Amino acid sequence: NINQELRQIILVRYYFKLKKEVKMYVVKTRGGYLCANGGATKHLKFATTFDTKRKVEEVAEKWLRSDVSFEAVEKESEEYEQN
Secondary structure (DSSP) of 31-56: TEEE-TTS-EES-GGGS--BSSHHHH
Residue of higher predicted confidence among 41 and 81: 41
What's the rounded Cα separation, in Å, for the pair 3 and 11? 12
* 43 contacts: CB under 8 Å, gap ≥ 6: 32, 33
> To the nearest 5 percent, what fractions of the chain are helix, strand and coil?
50, 20, 30
Q: What is the pLDDT of residues 12-43, one digit of tens each?
A: 776 666 655 667 889 999 889 998 877 888 88
Count of residues in the chain: 83
- Which pTM was predicted? 0.61
Residue range 61-68: mean pLDDT, rounded: 86
- Percent above pLDDT 90 for the chain: 16
